[in-house]
Amino acid sequence: MKKVTIILLLICFLFVIEFVINTSGFLKIERDIIKYEGRIYSNISQLDWFEKEKNKYQKGERIGEIKRISKSYLSL
């Protein structure tokens, strides 16, 4: 009986932890990610190292356009 009680308490604890993480916005990080011709590109313009070295890079020619926007990482 003690084992069953401990397992039930553990399951309840895990549900509470999951609820707290999901509602706190801890996992809700927005990213600019593009998949184009099998490659995945990410926006790095907000990173600290890029801010320091951005004058070394220049924009190239336009390679395509965005056809679909998704909020799910599973759609990549």
Task: List, in order, residues 6 or more apart from 53 with CB less than 8 Å away.
Answer: none
Task: List, in order, residues 6 or more apart from 63 with CB less than 8 Å away.
Answer: 36
> Within a 13 Å sphere around the CA of 58, how many CA atoms are in the beta-carbon half?
2
Confidence of residue 26 (pLDDT cuts 50, 70, 90): low
pLDDT value of residue 40:
83
For residues 34 and 69, what is the distance between their CA atoms, to the nearest angstrom?
9
Q: Each residue of 44-63: pLDDT tens digit?
A: 877 888 888 888 888 888 87
pLDDT value of residue 50:
84
pLDDT value of residue 23:
65
